[in-house]
């Protein structure tokens, strides 16, 4: 496993385990790019870090600056790319990323203090995070979690509602205004679980 934390002396903190968490190795020195003042990761959904096949890792940062850090060898070497999502304030940036494979991905976020603002809250990539583009329409507000069900079907949720995409993130449609913070697809099948305030847990069943 691999985890990351807030920067210390402008360096992202990275730890890696190969024994199920019994011991950890500090890999922070492997990230050569310094963090900007006010740049860090959001932990609302636990999905600003993702892993893929063949040693792929992605980490999204936000706040003053938003970037995607990528590794092709499970943290041995890193590259950083600009993520042109809403940013510039401590409450803005990407709050969740998801990748269907090592090329196709979605990033969602925005400003959690203005959760109905839907300007530049979702982006898609077709080249593993090197570049990002806006969909034909935005999600309906701030979103703190995103998940693929399959290559075309994806859901994004947040405190102002939930949206669905049936074309891999190219367009979005609002399906609920309920307040949620995180969502997760079951390891098998198409069941989606959403969690919100006051201990709420909802099931979203996909045909």
Q: What are the tokens at 172?
A: 């979005």
Q: What are the tokens at 8?
A: 């210390």
pLDDT tens figures, 171-195:
999 999 999 999 999 999 899 999 9
pLDDT tens figures, 32-52:
999 999 999 998 788 999 999
Cβ(81)–Cβ(129) under 8 Å?
Answer: yes
**Which regions in the chain score pLDDT beneath 70?**
none
Count CB neighbours of 199 within 10 A: 6
Predicted model pTM: 0.95
Residues 42, 89, 180, 175: is their CA dihedral positive or negative? negative
Question: What pLDDT does 155 receive?
Answer: 98
Domains and their CATH numbers in the chain: 2-174 (2.130.10.10)
Q: Cα separation of 191 and 207, whole Å?
A: 9
Question: What pLDDT does 43 receive?
Answer: 82
Question: What pLDDT does 148 receive?
Answer: 97
Q: Cα separation of 65 and 15, whole Å?
A: 22
Cβ(153)–Cβ(167) under 8 Å?
Answer: no
């Amino acid at each position: 496993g691999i985890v990351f934390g807030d920067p210390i002396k402008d360096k992202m903190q990275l730890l890696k385990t190969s024994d199920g968490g019994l011991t950890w190795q500090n890999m922070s020195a492997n990230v050569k790019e310094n963090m900007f003042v006010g740049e860090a990761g959001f932990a609302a959904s636990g999905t600003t870090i993702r892993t893929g096949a063949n040693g792929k890792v992605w980490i999204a940062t936000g706040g003053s600056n938003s970037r995607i850090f990528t590794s092709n060898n499970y943290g041995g070497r890193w590259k950083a790319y600009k993520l042109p999502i809403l940013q510039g304030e401590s409450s803005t940036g990407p709050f969740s990323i998801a990748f269907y494979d090592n090329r196709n991905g979605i990033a969602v976020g925005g400003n959690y203090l203005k959760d109905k603002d839907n300007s530049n809250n979702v982006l898609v990539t077709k080249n593993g995070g090197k570049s990002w583009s806006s969909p034909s329409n935005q999600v309906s507000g701030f979103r703190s979690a995103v998940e693929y069900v399959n290559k075309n079907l994806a859901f994004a949720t947040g405190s102002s509602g939930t949206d669905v995409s049936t074309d891999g993130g190219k367009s979005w449609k609002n399906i609920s205004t309920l307040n949620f913070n995180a969502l997760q697809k079951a390891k098998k099948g198409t069941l989606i679980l959403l969690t919100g305030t006051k201990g709420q847990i909802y099931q979203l069943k996909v045909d």
